[in-house]
Structure 1
Amino acid sequence: MSKKKTNKIPTVELDTKYEEHYQKGQEYFRKDDMPRAFEEFSKAIKLKSDHANAYTGIGVVYRRLGDFKKSRENLEKALLLNIKSPAAHNNLGNLYYEEGKLELALSEYLRAARLNSTLPAVYYNIGKTYRRLENFKRAVKNFEKAIKLDPNLPDAYCSLGYTFYRLEKLSKAAETFKKAIELDCKYCKAHNGLGIIMDEMGNKERAKEEFEKAIELDPLYPWPYYNLGLIFFNEGNIKLAIKHLRKATELGPKKAQLFHGLGYVYQKIDKLELAITQYKKALELEPKSPKSHNNIGYAFMAKGDLKECEIYLLKALEIDPKFSVAHHNLANLYLQQSNIEKSLIHFNKAIELEQKNAWIHFDLALAYEQLGEIDKAIEHLLKAISYKPEEAQFHLNLACLYETKGNLKDALKEYKKTRILNPDNPWVYAKTALIYQIVGKYNKAIQDYKKVIELVPDNVWAYNHMGSIYLARGEHLKALESYKKSFHYEEHMSETYLGLALSLISEGKLLHAIEDLEHAIEEDPSNLEAHINYINIHHKFDFLKRTTEKYKKIIKEKPDEGYAYFGLALIYLINKKPEEAIKMFTESLKYFTDKPLIYYYRSKAYLMYGAKDSAYRDMRKALEIDQKNLEFIYTLIDFLLQINRFEIAKSLLPLIEDQSPSSPLALCASARIDLYEHKIKEAEDKIKKAKIQERRYYLLPFLSGKLAELKGKPSLAIKYYKKSLKYKPFWEEARKEIEKISAVKRLKVEG
């Protein structure tokens, strides 16, 4: 029986033909000609079905065509044929990477690296995967290894640049992107990356140049449009921002982040429906994205639809219970709903997940402030500042909290830090000016009020306060000029009229002042300072009877007008009718529970009545209402010395000295204590130091009068007390001292 003839190809020729088809397949693949690449790899497999390389090639083609199932089948077949094929492991890793199965991808890449440690592409892929897994240090290590194996690999430099950016190593990132561009000047992604770094480093113009260059090199690459859009938005060019962000979404319709960016801009300009539409497009692309659910929820919160907001935020946490941003937003939502218990649970969870997130600590501080737990609020603001020390808003809020606690010393420090970080915020200068005014540093206060006016020329409040300082310094013309400037604007009119009246009173033009005081009361009947001066002028001219009838008539016609009870009480006090005064002040407090002036004057009535303990209680109550008013602490010290409560008075001194050490007010308060103890030299030294800082400080003439009395110089004392009245024309204590000394002089003459 004869043997059957076969057309068997010799082994050498078979190997040659296999290699020829395989290499052609590789060439077509590099040219992105997938059909021909597939054809050539298939021919190679027909020749030698037991060789892994061709199956690897077919698997890569299927992956590029989007058929992941067939891609995996062929790559796994390649590995069955050759489990030690680094190419098959690497490409199976690429498949898993595209599917988002990062841990599986990393496992395959690491196997490839173990089989062949000289392949730069493998280390590049490992670095890329670690970056996606946010293990940036390991990503850097593997990108650097890829570069070491191939120093001319622009992809590795570019990816390393983006990793340095995530590590906030901006200088290194810039250097690395520049190296990628040096290797390939037409590398669009590297120009885009360098643009991001320039933007972060504050070089906006260079950033724009890089993004525009990236667009020029590849007009179909969406990310430079996106980044350029965000720069335009931050510059306030909303039209260009939206134009570029829309273009980005057109070019990258499957990139959820691009829709998030456009949604963010719409949300910031209060086009909330458009924002929600964009976020929902992102959600369609990534149905299980906690970020998309969170952003939709946040937009609904801004819209005021708290029910929908809660639904989306809870869904975000259902998908990812460790998504700190959603916990943060949910905490703010519950805070709005006054559901404090739930709010704190989510704030604490957010902090547990992101301990160094400054904004979570900031918002939690706001929550504690709302609860009235100021110490806890301060604790979290300090943490926020430790993580983000250059954020002006953190320092500003901390300053306000310190001020709320009456800690003016630390408040002033934080306001100063805020001014450095945000030098164009007029409100901060206003706050520092007020503190300087309280502690008697008038020159610094005026300087800051002028800065407020420079930034906001129509700020009536600043003109009025500056006028009050000029009055306290006895500079009546400057005060009058400042108050007159306020009349250009229709705000704070009651304070402006009061200021004008006080200027006229300081010049001795009492009758002219009455009209302005009436205007001040008409504008704001609760302006107690206006009532006090109005009544004092009428007392000066013996018109109190007519004024009494006026206040009684108001009470009869409008019994709920608390200011009328206050006015009538003040008249009774002047007429030395303490019992009636106490009754009327008490009635007034039913309508003005937060007015320390009423407690102050009622304490005077109690003192006149002989009820020292009640007087002291009212003084303490006034201080409790206005804890940060250091001038009132001085008044309380002076009051306590008048009723011989020296130890209590002395215990209050640190409240001023701790907040404003060596300020005119602190020196004057300490000098007042010394004068009570007859420590003449110590008091004199402190008065001199205060004069060096602010020679026109209103307390100095009064204390100088006290000092002259102790030195046995009554005429000089009267001179100083009279000078005090130029600063405060109705200063009762100064008048009493003048009357006391004058009475002693008369007795001596009569004797």
Structure 2
Amino acid sequence: MIAGVLLSSGGCSGDSNARKQKYFESGQQYFQAGKYQEATIQFLNAIQVDTSFAAAHYQLARCYLRQKLLSSAYRELAVTVQLDPKNWQAQLDFAGLLFRSGQFSDARARAASILEDNPTEPGAQLLLATSDGELGNLRLAIDEAQRGVELAPDKPAPYVTLGLLQEKAQQLNLAEQNLEKAVSLDAKFLPARMGLGTFYQRRGRWQDAEAQFRAGIEADNSDPLPRSALSALYFGWGKKDLAEKTLQEAKKAIPNDPAAYRLLGDFYVASGETGKALNEFALLSQEHPDDLAVKKRHIGLLIGNKQYDKATALDDEILKQNSKDAEALLLKGETLNLEQRFAEAVPVLEASGRSNPDDPAAHFQLGLAYFRNGNLDGAEREWRESVRLKPSLLEAQQNLAMLELRKGDMRQLEQSASDLLKYAPSAPQGYLARGLVRMKRGEFAGAESDLRRTIELDPRNAMAYTRLGDISLTQQRFAEAENFYEQALAQDPRSPEALQGLVTQFLLQKQPVKARQRVEAQVARVPDQSSFQYLLGKTLLADHKTAEAAAALTKALELDPKNLSASLLLGQAQEASGQLDQAASAYEHAMQANAGNAQPYVFLGALEEHRGNWQKAQDLYRKALKLQPDQSAAANNLSYLLLEHGGDINDALSLAQIAHDGMPQSPNAADTLAWAYYKMGSYNSALPLLQEAVKKAPQNATYYYHLGLVYQKTKKVAQAKNSFQRALQLDPKSPRAEEIRRALAELNTPPS
């Protein structure tokens, strides 16, 4: 019985080996014939039979490289070198791909590792040199390239590498000599022709460069690279017609090579001829219906041209054939994002990420969809993954900085600023982020320098003007602040931060009418902005125009029912004018429109407390704390109600401590915590808190009453009398007035 099982197992293993080898050999044949898509399918079949088949993973990586599918090639090379670390060619290809993706330090480390076991491997030696060249270590790089020449003195590649590094080091005569040496060793070695031609082009020696690129075409008429270089040369030379003609000829001369027949369409894209590009890729899609890269390029152009319906139709054709095509899913998700169908975009982009977890663009787009759906944690997670995979992805870095600013996470914002400045030193976003960090730290001179640099690089950056206004406002340079805020609004008439800054600087100068008039002018210009209607309501309240304020706040909520600030301020305005039912409705609306936000519960709780409905107020505060356990105002108010209405003193103390931790400067929180200590008999703990409270709020009768009781319990009669008398003086009609008078009478009665 056991022997039978073993034989059966052995037979299955043999079948599996035969099947995977058959797929592998078929893939090899397709690869040799240049049929890379067919080869890809066969190598995938072989891997499906045996996931640890290192040779199939490597050949699959080579197929992806030939098809310019670099992310997929990266993934397969990573698997290959993990399964077969001694496959030095795979190691070298992987290091080369790291270099191509800008990961020069990693490429250098892998090249150095290869050389430890293969010290005479010229390919690794040259990759080490070029990596050091990109890292700025030119002197070392040149020495390493010369070592490459010593390893292969009769090969052209080392001379090309050395010559290009010498050109970078401005050793131009030596560079030209070595590039010419490479050509002399092998006149048909394209990198030599390309290197020398590019050298001439950078020197403005157009005819010499043209001769080299044409010689490259003659050397290998089937390679599109010299034709592409010749077209770029003509374009830079100001001969656009010749550039276009060269690529038209490439398409005819090499009709079956995707890298050749796509050149013309890519040229139209690069030169901004969108109509020609769309027509060219539409034609290519018909001529090469099996070339998914062409179809996807066409879809991308349609998306960029806002032809979303056409893009979706073509995308669905691809997904009908392969529902897990990562790039097609990404294109569809991007389209849904652009159509603002964010909820629909999420599952599509999640599927794209599952199909290709190493694609930074998929993580970026999924982050956008999460953000627009209110999932900030998900957005942050996806954007962090996208910049981990591609640190130079500026949009993701910028969005992370925006999130970090919103959260007040200065440590992470500082890191994002550093990354932005590292990967894009001439882009404004890094200076803006660093300026915001410096502002938060109070380093205003450095912040101002960064913000001014932001404006130099991006003169229309409204946020930079706004933050310069904030700095001027902090330093009470009001005229300068006003000017910066006005410049911000000139660049972005819908900027709520800039208009808020203007309002604040007018109010600080005790000019509420000017504040209101400025907001009214902006509302007339942008009447559909909810945040502006909110600011109008705020300035009208400051000018004691309650009815007009309520109308503006109502308008703000019509424009944006989720405008929490408008709901709460409307409720406060209605409370102030005695419209308690309407105020309650405003807070209830805020609860429904902002599910998960604790603030409306706190405001409604305070209203019910004012009405005398303390049990209902307690329930509302508890709901607020369930949503946000550290909500300081809810903790404070609930604690006080428990203390006043016979609730659990230990619970009250715990809540009061939460409130005081969250609002350490609040005299109200200090009083509540002191009152809890008083109720527990901890008078010495209560005393400094009440002393702090009356110092910060010397007009509050309740605080003096509580302080008097503590003094009374600690036998400090004179201080107790003074405190009670001050409480009566501040509020002689207080509900506690009779209790205070009795306490004073007791203190004035001599002991028997």
TM-score (norm: length of structure 2): 0.52
Give distance in 2, aligned partners of 1:453 and 1:312.
42
8 Å Cα contact 2:353/2:362 also seen in 1: yes
What residue identity is the alignment partner of 1:179? Y
The equivalent residue for 1:177 is 157
Give distance in 1, aligned partners of 2:391 and 2:493.
36
Shift of 1:357: 3.3
Give distance in 2, aligned partners of 1:518 and 1:358.
45
Give distance in 2, aligned partners of 1:529 and 1:636.
26
The equivalent residue for 2:191 is 190
Give distance in 2, aligned partners of 1:263 and 1:300.
13
Structure 2 unaligned blocks of 5 or more? 1-27, 40-61, 68-72, 78-86, 94-120, 135-140, 149-155, 161-178, 644-651, 675-686, 700-722, 733-740, 745-752
Give distance in 2, aligned partners of 1:346 and 1:485.
39
The equivalent residue for 1:250 is 249
The equivalent residue for 1:224 is 226
Change beyond 3 A, Cα 1:422–1:504: same
Shift of 1:189: 1.0
Change beyond 3 A, Cα 1:389–1:586: closer
8 Å Cα contact 2:346/2:370 also seen in 1: no
Give distance in 2, aligned partners of 1:748 and 1:587.
33
What residue identity is the alignment partner of 2:213? I
8 Å Cα contact 2:432/2:450 also seen in 1: yes
User: C-alpha deviations, 1:615-658, integer Å up to 9, x for none?
Assistant: 68888999999x9xxxx97777777787786634655799x8xx
Shift of 1:226: 1.2
User: C-alpha deviations, 1:684-706, integer Å up to 9, x for none?
Assistant: xxxxxxxxxxxxxxxxxxxxxx9
Change beyond 3 A, Cα 1:507–1:212: same
The equivalent residue for 1:579 is 580
Give distance in 1, aligned partners of 2:371 and 2:566.
36
| Helix, strand or coil at the partner of 1:532 | helix
From 350, 360, 384, give the equivalent of 2:362: 360
Give distance in 2, aligned partners of 1:385 and 1:223.
31
The equivalent residue for 1:262 is 264
Give distance in 2, aligned partners of 1:459 and 1:104.
50
8 Å Cα contact 1:229/1:242 also seen in 2: no
Shift of 1:217: 3.8
8 Å Cα contact 1:636/1:649 also seen in 2: no
Matched, 1:536 2:542: yes
The equivalent residue for 1:395 is 397
Give aligned pairs, total.
544
From 491, 494, 499, give the equivalent of 2:493: 491
Q: Give the number of the structure whose alpha-carbon radius of gyration is greater.
A: 1
Shift of 1:247: 1.1
What residue identity is the alignment partner of 2:691? L
What residue identity is the alignment partner of 1:536? A
What residue identity is the alignment partner of 1:647? S
Shift of 1:670: 10
User: C-alpha deviations, 1:244-292, integer Å up to 9, x for none?
Assistant: 3541331452243233132134346664542244335656775643333
Change beyond 3 A, Cα 1:284–1:406: same
Matched, 1:422 2:424: yes
User: C-alpha deviations, 1:505-524, integer Å up to 9, x for none?
Assistant: 32345566564465466566
User: C-alpha deviations, 1:134-192, integer Å up to 9, x for none?
Assistant: 8996768999xxxxxxxxxxxxx999999999999988999663436534345561235
Give distance in 1, aligned partners of 2:590 and 2:402.
28
The equivalent residue for 2:610 is 608
User: C-alpha deviations, 1:353-384, integer Å up to 9, x for none?
Assistant: x5433333333444554555555554444443
Change beyond 3 A, Cα 1:459–1:190: closer
What residue identity is the alignment partner of 2:538? I
Q: Percent identity?
A: 15
8 Å Cα contact 1:569/1:580 also seen in 2: no
Report which structure shows greater RCO (CA 8 Å, sep ≥6).
Answer: 1
Shift of 1:231: 9.0
The equivalent residue for 1:710 is 691
Structure 1 unaligned blocks of 5 or more? 1-93, 106-127, 144-156, 539-546, 657-665, 679-705, 720-739
Give distance in 1, aligned partners of 2:308 and 2:555.
47
Change beyond 3 A, Cα 1:414–1:244: same
Give distance in 2, aligned partners of 1:372 and 1:263.
39
8 Å Cα contact 1:212/1:224 also seen in 2: no
What residue identity is the alignment partner of 2:394? A
What residue identity is the alignment partner of 1:177? A
User: C-alpha deviations, 1:200-248, integer Å up to 9, x for none?
Assistant: xxx9948999965632644666523414656999xxx797678535413
| Helix, strand or coil at the partner of 2:262 | helix
What residue identity is the alignment partner of 1:215? F
| Helix, strand or coil at the partner of 1:184 | helix
8 Å Cα contact 2:296/2:328 also seen in 1: yes
The equivalent residue for 1:214 is 212
What residue identity is the alignment partner of 2:159? K
Give distance in 2, aligned partners of 1:413 and 1:742.
57
What residue identity is the alignment partner of 1:384? S
Give distance in 1, aligned partners of 2:550 and 2:38.
89
User: C-alpha deviations, 1:407-453, integer Å up to 9, x for none?
Assistant: 66545543543344334554565566667777988777656554544
Change beyond 3 A, Cα 1:480–1:742: farther
The equivalent residue for 1:505 is 507
8 Å Cα contact 1:178/1:194 also seen in 2: no
| Helix, strand or coil at the partner of 1:177 | helix
Bigger mean CA offset, 448-457 vs 632-641: 632-641
Give distance in 2, aligned partners of 1:471 and 1:141.
58
TM-score (norm: length of structure 1): 0.52
8 Å Cα contact 1:188/1:214 also seen in 2: no
The equivalent residue for 1:647 is 654
Give distance in 2, aligned partners of 1:513 and 1:500.
7
8 Å Cα contact 1:600/1:619 also seen in 2: yes
Q: Counterparts of 1:315-334 in structure 2 under 5 Å?
A: 325-326=327-328, 328-329=330-331, 332=334
Give distance in 2, aligned partners of 1:388 and 1:241.
34
User: C-alpha deviations, 1:2-41, integer Å up to 9, x for none?
Assistant: xxxxxxxxxxxxxxxxxxxxxxxxxxxxxxxxxxxxxxxx
Give distance in 2, aligned partners of 1:322 and 1:267.
28
Shift of 1:711: 6.3
The equivalent residue for 1:31 is none
What residue identity is the alignment partner of 1:214? Q
What residue identity is the alignment partner of 2:611? Y
| Helix, strand or coil at the partner of 2:358 | coil
Give distance in 1, aligned partners of 2:248 and 2:420.
39
Change beyond 3 A, Cα 1:444–1:231: farther
Give distance in 1, aligned partners of 2:228 and 2:419.
35
Bigger mean CA offset, 583-592 vs 452-461: 583-592
Give distance in 2, aligned partners of 1:558 and 1:130.
54
Shift of 1:104: 14
| Helix, strand or coil at the partner of 2:419 | helix
8 Å Cα contact 2:420/2:429 also seen in 1: no
| Helix, strand or coil at the partner of 1:361 | helix
Give distance in 2, aligned partners of 1:142 and 1:560.
62
What residue identity is the alignment partner of 1:397? N
Give distance in 1, aligned partners of 2:522 and 2:430.
28
What residue identity is the alignment partner of 1:257? A
8 Å Cα contact 1:191/1:214 also seen in 2: no
Shift of 1:585: 3.7
Give distance in 1, aligned partners of 2:286 and 2:125.
31
Bigger mean CA offset, 469-478 vs 335-344: 335-344
Change beyond 3 A, Cα 1:586–1:707: same
Give distance in 2, aligned partners of 1:296 and 1:335.
18
What residue identity is the alignment partner of 1:710? Q
What residue identity is the alignment partner of 2:190? K
Shift of 1:718: 6.5
8 Å Cα contact 1:393/1:418 also seen in 2: no
Change beyond 3 A, Cα 1:388–1:465: closer
